[in-house]
Structure 1
């Protein structure tokens, strides 16, 4: 039986001290101690800190501390050897693993602690949506911006829908058959085609994320393709003529006059209502440029600041109000008031549209039928009207600067120019070209 302290590295300034125990040729255990030493001071013969390094008649604090360090290390090594010897004496038949377990428990207790199990990634789809939201809500510099609040809400809505459809749905069971079954169920529940397609796109995205996390995913879902949902009606916009009617109409109450001015500003800026109602005249620069923070994304990105042009008609409204924007109200009230304004202004022509059934509450589906136009007016008409009326004048790049849209596809989605009007605009441009050439 032999017990020995040694170091493996004889160069550098720090070398770990090891302990070797062997009992014959077939039983040897080498253990790493929690101690280290400068190889220059290691006494290989006595297996300790070289006593010759002790400062005799130490006077300074530095020298005294150095001597204490030598004594402490040598005492610790002697104690370690003694404790192992006692264990081996009391356990003469201990095998290598038992010796290591005793040693690690005594000197490296952290090795004895159970390893922390990583959070288990859920396999049930509705639970995985929560996991997805948590992971995608993190900001990772240079890699990922957190999802917006609107996206988070949409994902929660999808989760709640799937709970109604099949709360025990596993990720691996999402395939083409699931897609067909979910589509039929959503159709029976009177969901629109666009809602169904949006949900399926989100589901595909979530499954793609699950696949990257090494979750068992059916390959069918990763190859889903989507046709654009068939639109059964065109959402309304305001034309220049209709805006003039709104501007020239006399309204009986101040709250309607206030709402009318918001319509004018919304029509000429194309802003989201959440931004529109927070416009502040203090942020106007160069006389006709407004700076503001996009409320929808200000907590999710560093690029939330926008600068937009204020049309002369907008400046007229501000001038009338002593340089201030109209009185701020909630978007709910503005939605109600602009309907009333448009009704008084005579926007009563019949058209097909969709209005959510109020009796069904938040889960109410849109009832598509013929309405008077004022009934279909909401604050979102501002952005649609701006894009539709100014796309030919400004072009897509300038439209995106004004509305904050990031892609041409989103601009196209908001462009509600009728096919006949598009053709007439082509005719007008062609005529002007030929006049110039002739």
Structure 2
């Protein structure tokens, strides 16, 4: 006949594990830990239960009785269905009885982030055409930065985070830490929540238990009214195109009077012309700074008299082709393709070129505070806010409504029009779309000759 007993394996003067012994008959005995502990002085050898001398022991006594009943009920049911009764079966019953979650190394948030990073080159990524293998360099970088943030947060709360613990209260506390303690921008904090949700969804796919809430974590971005984007207009690009960098004495004086702006770069006619060419090229082809700086002669393709740039975008793996037609950009591509330089160096040069070109209107925007390493909103000279990410926005903004949006999207690589419009801080203008259709319709039909049609009057005369 089956029996259940509870015993202690030690009489040390400290809390020890309470074991459960299950006898299924014919000398077969199974022993596992209940997960509960007690000091031996509070244990009754007579009843094999805690002495009911305090509230804690009374609760423990009730839990052991509950477990005994649960095991017996499960045993009777499973024996009737020829289920194997062993230590794994008993451990499962204990977990089920108290709805316990198994905490394993695989269930640690930091470990699953590492798992994603370590397997980055073999992970499947959904694309418009199906799937590709391997995460992009920028995605791996985002996961790595997220791992660093989680490591820091664990030090703050002084515990390791299990994926099963990612509940609504946890996310609210984590969000508060990101925004109010770390002072991250709205977009950056929201991005971390987006990655957290992605990690949880991936963990569930790998059979790691997660909370239902973790798959619905809401991330956020700054609203349109809080976004301040900087672009270079056609007029400002003309100023950049025409500024003279040949007076070396003026350049020396400029470097001397602008030590902060020029401290990391060489101010010469050659370096400034090189930076200017990157700016003019970048604002005409609408690509990200990283893709722009990878352009070489191998990206240039000729078909008849037409010039094309073929680019494989690093972030999205999209292949885009840009037609080069502006005369000054044709000249750059054919005769003075700029020399590659570090991304940060380019950003430093952009500010210098823009200031020398007189692009110094005071505008509202965000600028990095080097002491706090956080972006701060304020009023600054426009040249101080310019960087390579402004090129793509300038292209999209300058040509919006002048060139059909689907064509612009194919060049910038945005997946849909709504993202494109958000990128340039515009709302969909339905009237403008209708006007554009009518304009193209008129162009399409302007050379057609009206046809005379004879209409019968309905008589035989």
Q: Same fold (TM over 0.5)?
A: yes
User: Among 161, 174, 183, which residue is 1:169 paired with?
Assistant: 161
Is structure 2 residue 145 aligned with structure 1 residue 157?
Answer: yes
- 1:294 to partner: Cα distance: 3.2
Q: Give unmatched runs, 5+ long, in structure 2.
A: 1-103, 248-268, 444-461
> Match of 1:325, SS?
coil
Distance across 2 between alignment mates of 1:219 and 1:261: 52
2-structure distance, mates of 1:212, 1:348: 52
1:217 matched residue in structure 2: 210
1:355 aligns with 2:372: no
Higher Cα radius of gyration: 1
Displacement after TM superposition at 1:281 (Å) = 3.3
The answer to whether residue 272 in structure 2 is matched with residue 284 in structure 1 is: no
Partner deviation per Cα, 1:10-55 (whole Å, 9 max, x = no partner): xxxxxxxxxxxxxxxxxxxxxxxxxxxxxxxxxxxxxxxxxxxxxx
Contact 2:191 2:220 in 1 (8 A): no
Alpha-carbon distance change, 279 to 197 in structure 1, aligned in 2, over 3 angstroms: same
Task: Please name the residue that 2:176 is paired with.
Answer: 184
* TM-score, normalised relative to structure 2: 0.59
Q: 1:263 is paired with a residue of what secondary structure? A: helix
C-alpha contact 1:275 1:295 (8 A) present in aligned 2: yes
Q: Distance in 1 between matches of 2:122 and 2:201?
A: 18
Q: Equivalents in 1 of 2:209, 2:188: separation in Å?
A: 27
Q: Using a 3 Å threshold, how does the CA distance of structure 1 residues 308 and 245 change in structure 2: closer, same or farther?
A: same
Question: CA-atom RMSD, angstroms?
Answer: 3.2
Contact 1:349 1:373 in 2 (8 A): yes
CA distance in 2, matches of 1:261, 1:280: 13
Q: Distance in 2 between matches of 1:146 and 1:385?
A: 31
Offset at 1:318?
2.6
User: Which of 320, 342, 346 is matched with 1:306 structurally?
Assistant: 320
CA contact (8 A) 2:204 2:210 kept: yes
Give the drift of 1:295.
4.2
**Inter-CA distance 289–412: structure 2 relative to 1 (3 Å threshold):** same
Per-residue CA distance 1:127-173 (angstroms, 9 max, x = gap):
11111223443155975532111111111111111111125111011
Which blocks of at least 5 consecutive residues in structure 1 are unaligned?
1-119, 298-302
Whole-Å Cα distance in 2 between the matches of residues 138 and 396 of structure 1?
35
| Distance apart, 1:304 and its partner CA | 5.2
Map of 1:237 onto structure 2: 231
Q: Which residue of 1 aligns with 2:458?
A: none
Q: How does 1:93-108 map to 2 (within 5 A)?
A: none
Q: Aligned-pair distance for 1:376?
A: 0.2
How many equivalent residue pairs?
306
Aligned to 1:325: 337
CA contact (8 A) 1:280 1:324 kept: no
Task: State the SS of the aligned residue for 2:379.
Answer: strand
In structure 1, what is the Cα distance between the partners aligned to 2:290 and 2:145?
21
Q: Structure 2 matches for 1:68-79, cutoff 5 A?
A: none
Partner of 1:98: none
1:197 aligns to what? 190
**TM-score normalised by the chain length of structure 1:** 0.62
Q: 1:236-267 CA distances to partner (integer Å, 9 max, x unpaired)? A: 01111111121222224232122112211111
3-state SS of 1:367 partner: strand
